[in-house]
Amino acid sequence: MSGGDVQVNREGPHWAFSLAVYGGAGVSDACLHLQDTCGVDVNVMLLCAYRRAQGLAVDEALLAMVETTVDPWREGAILPLRQLRRDLKKGVASVPPETLSFARKKISDAEITAEMVEQELIMRAMEGGDRRPSDEPLAQVVMKVVKFYAGRRGLDARTRRVTEAVEALAGQADRCRHLVPPAM
């Protein structure tokens, strides 16, 4: 793969892990809460949990490197698609509901594809990071990601709802460890 080529791998273990974690009871709501209140990039958070499940460390330097890599894609592709999908949820007076629903589905599909591209960018960035082992608890890793993003916005991540969201995601990630191959 050359410098700018990003190939989406729908069968990759990182994508399977992300779907399994996100699909856990209460996890999608928890992730959306962290995204909307703390500015968390859910894909970064999921793949940091994946990396930790591989037995590798996640630190602020890695988070900063990943953020530098994915921010242009998130700002240019994911966020505009997400905003359009959310705006259409309100309805458009001149468009029949079934047509609007069809359009929202297509936009949602494009948003998911954009998130898959982002995951590939994250994985590529993480490959260049420190490969030292870690046994840090998953909940601490997830909270580290939340604090990283909240801190960039000057927000306080120490609320009961944030803690509950972190625990929901970390618990499900722990249950999905079997999907993660060891780091090489």
Which residue has 């468009």 as its token pair?
95
Q: Find out whether 166 and 42 touch, Cβ atoms under 8 Å.
A: no
What is the per-residue pLDDT for 100?
Answer: 95
| Cα distance between the two ends of the chain | 19
Q: What pLDDT is recorded for position 4?
A: 62
Tokens of 146: 């939340």
- Pair 24, 35: CB distance under 8 Å: no
- Residue 133, φ and ψ in degrees, nearest 5: -75, 160
Q: How far apart are CA 9 and CA 52, in angstroms?
A: 20
The number of helix segments (H) and strand segments (E) in the chain equals 8, 0
Give 133's DSSP letter.
Answer: B
Q: Could you list the pLDDT tens digit for every one of the 184 residues in the chain?
A: 444 677 777 788 999 999 999 999 999 999 999 999 999 999 999 999 999 999 999 999 999 999 999 999 999 999 999 999 999 999 998 999 999 999 999 999 999 999 999 999 999 999 988 899 999 999 999 999 999 999 999 998 889 999 999 999 999 999 999 999 988 7
Task: Tell me what pLDDT residue 33 has.
Answer: 96
What is the structure's pLDDT at 11? 81
Q: What is the spatial distance between Cα 55 and Cα 33, in angstroms, rounded to a whole number?
A: 27
Contacts of 112 (CB under 8 A, 6+ apart): none
Name the pTM for this structure: 0.93
